[in-house]
Amino acid sequence: MVLPTEPIGSIPRPLELIQAIGVDGDGTDPRLEPLYEAAIRDTIECFEATGSPVITDGEQRKFQNFWTYSVYGMPNASADGFRIPFTGHTRRMPRLTAGPFRYMRYADQYLDPALRLARVPVKQAVISPSALSLMYPPEGIPGYTRQQFIDDLLREHESEVRRCLHKGAYKVQIDFTEGRLAIKIDPSGSLLSSFIDLNNLALARLSTEERRRIGVHTCPGADRDATHSAEVDYAELLPSLFELNAGNFYIALAGEREPERVLKAIRRYMKPHHTVFVGVVNPIDPRIETPEEVRERVLEAASYIPPAQLGTTDDCGFSPFCDDTSTSRATAFAKIRARIAGTRLADWILGAA
C-alpha cells in the first residue's frame, strides 16, 4: 500500500521578501515581482527535494495571509472587522461597508507559476465561505441584505474553486480554521452549524467528481507559535465537520494533548468515502520531529482509521500570516522531510502486515 501524504499550504517566506513587503506596506508593489518569483522557485525546488509527492507554492504570493488574500485591498471595506483572538495577540479581518461583495483576486492565479515550475502535482488552498462570511457586520448594511451578500459570496467561492480545478490543481483545499473557533465564540454550537450549512451550500454547487478533489482543513490556528482555539474539544467539532460534503479532511493532530481521544472520535464520525489526513508534525513546535516519531503517530492513527482511508499531513501551514517569522524555512522543510520519511516507514510496516 502507499499512504498519501500532502502539505497544508504555507511555507515561511525568505527574510529578504518579508523585509521588502514590510517596507512596501502591502506587498503589491510591482518591484517585488523578482523576489516573489525567486521565492516561489526556491520553495518548489525545496519541496521537491523532500520527496513530497504533492506540493504547494508555499503561499509565497498570497497577499498578507491565507484568510483575507481574496479581499485584501477591497475599496468597500474597513480594517476594523472581526477579531481573530490568538493566544497573546490578535489579528483582524476587514469589515464590509457596502455591497456588492467581490473578490479582488482568485487563488488560481497562484497556480500558474507553480504548475509551470513543478514536476509533481500541485494542490491549492482557498479560504472557506464561512470565514469570509464574518466580514458582514451584525448590524447589517443599508441597501445590501445579508442574503444578497451570501449569494455573492457563494458565487465568488464557486468561481474560485472551479478556476483552480480547471487549471489543473491536484486538489483544492478549503481552509476551515474557524471551525473550532466558532465553538469558542458560541458554545451553543449555533455558529458552527451555520458555518457547516453555508459551506455545504457552496459544495453542493460542485459535481460528485469535483467534490472528490476537494479537501477541508481544520486546526486550532497557527500564528507566531500561538493558536486561537486549541482549548476547544475536537469532540464538539468532528460530528459536524464530517457532515461537510467533501472527499478529504486534513485534521491537525500532532499538537493535540490527547491524540488517541481525537482518533476515536474520527473513527466514530468519518464516513466510508472519506480520506482523513492526520497531522503528524506540529508547525508551531520548534523541535523537529524524527521519522521514527512520525512513524509511530501514523501507526497509532492506523489502529483507528482504516489504512485505505488514511493519509498524513502537517497540522497547519508553517506561516499562514506573511509577517510571521517564528519558524524558519529550514525548520519547515526539515519537518516536511520527517513527515515524508516517517510516512514511508509506517507504510512499509502496514503493507507488510
Query: What pLDDT, on the 0 to 100 scale, is given for residue 89?
Result: 86
Query: What pLDDT, on the 0 to 100 scale, is given for residue 223?
Result: 83
Query: What pLDDT, on the 0 to 100 scale, is given for residue 11?
Result: 96
User: What is residue 205's three-state secondary structure?
Assistant: coil
Q: Which residues pair with 281 in a beta bridge?
A: 314
CA distances from 197 to 12, 128, 134, 203, 267 (A): 33, 12, 14, 10, 23
Domain residue extents for the chain: 15-352
Print pLDDT tens along the chain (353 aa).
599 999 999 999 998 988 888 766 667 788 889 999 999 999 999 999 999 999 999 999 987 788 899 999 999 999 998 888 898 888 889 999 999 999 999 999 999 999 999 999 999 999 999 999 999 999 999 999 999 999 999 999 999 999 999 999 999 999 999 999 999 999 999 999 999 999 999 999 999 999 999 999 999 888 888 888 888 899 999 999 999 999 999 999 999 999 999 999 999 999 999 999 999 999 999 999 999 999 999 999 999 999 999 999 999 999 988 778 889 999 999 999 999 999 999 999 998 65
Query: What pLDDT, on the 0 to 100 scale, is given for residue 28?
Result: 76
Burial of 58 (0-12, 13-18, 19+ CB in 10 A): buried
What CA–CA distance (Å, rounded) separates 283 from 281? 6
Q: Element (H or E) spanning 124, and its range?
A: strand 124-127
- Residue among 285, 284, 281 at smallest CA distance from 297: 281
pTM equals 0.95
What CA–CA distance (Å, rounded) separates 136 from 138? 7
The residue type found at 245 is N
Q: Is residue 66 a contact partner of residue 10, using CB atoms and an 8 Å limit?
A: yes
Query: What pLDDT, on the 0 to 100 scale, is given for residue 224?
Result: 82
Backbone φ, ψ for residue 194 (5° rounding): -65, -35
Residues 83-86: contacts with CB under 8 Å, at least 24 apart? 84/181, 84/221, 84/228, 85/228, 86/221, 86/223, 86/224, 86/226, 86/227, 86/228
What CA–CA distance (Å, rounded) separates 224 from 19? 17
The C-alpha cell that represents 292 in the structure block? 521514527
Query: What pLDDT, on the 0 to 100 scale, is given for residue 353?
Result: 57
- The correct answer on CATH 3.40.50.150 for the domain covering 15-352 is no
